[in-house]
């Protein structure tokens, strides 16, 4: 299976210099997002859907910014710094729910 997000696309989206940020660092971000998102998909074939790939890219940006922005806060290009210290909490997938809803596994576990 191909990656949900190409490392080069993530680098371009974040406007990172390849001499300063190696591919391995960005690959860790992509792996973290894939580990979060792929198990939630109702069908592995959904990983090729444009909406899923776009949501994964957005999640990668949020993970990168949470790790590297001052204070772990999201940096908005037009709004300055948006105070959101818990970007990597349960709401990470929920923020992209509109894009992901048709592809996510719905239901829950029954505990007896």
The 10 Å Cβ neighbour count of residue 29 is 22
Q: Which domain holds residue 30?
A: 7-103
Instruction: Assess if residue 39 is contained within a domain.
Output: yes
Instruction: Assess if residue 21 is contained within a domain.
Output: yes
Per-residue pLDDT reduced to its tens digit, 78-97: 555 555 545 666 778 888 98
SS3 string, 73-110, reads: CEEECCCEEECCCCCCCCHHHHCCHHHHHHHECCCCCC
Instruction: Assess if residue 79 is contained within a domain.
Output: yes
Instruction: Assess if residue 11 is contained within a domain.
Output: yes
Look at the chain and report how many structural domains it folds into: 1
Beta bridge partners of 82: 74
Instruction: Assess if residue 1 is contained within a domain.
Output: no
Per-residue pLDDT reduced to its tens digit, 8-45: 999 999 999 999 999 999 999 999 999 989 988 989 89
Q: What pLDDT is stored for residue 74 in this prediction?
A: 54
Instruction: Assess if residue 24 is contained within a domain.
Output: yes
């Amino acid at each position: 299976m191909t990656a949900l997000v190409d490392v080069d696309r993530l680098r371009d989206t974040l406007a990172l210099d390849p001499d300063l940020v190696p591919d391995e660092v960005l690959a860790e971000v992509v792996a973290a997002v894939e580990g979060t998102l792929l198990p939630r998909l109702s069908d592995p074939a959904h990983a090729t859907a444009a909406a899923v790939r776009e949501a994964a890219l957005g999640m990668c940006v949020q993970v990168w910014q949470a790790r590297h922005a001052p204070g772990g806060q999201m940096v908005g290009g037009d709004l300055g710094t948006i105070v959101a210290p818990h970007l990597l909490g349960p709401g990470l997938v929920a923020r992209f729910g509109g894009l992901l809803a048709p592809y996510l596994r719905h239901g829950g576990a029954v505990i007896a």
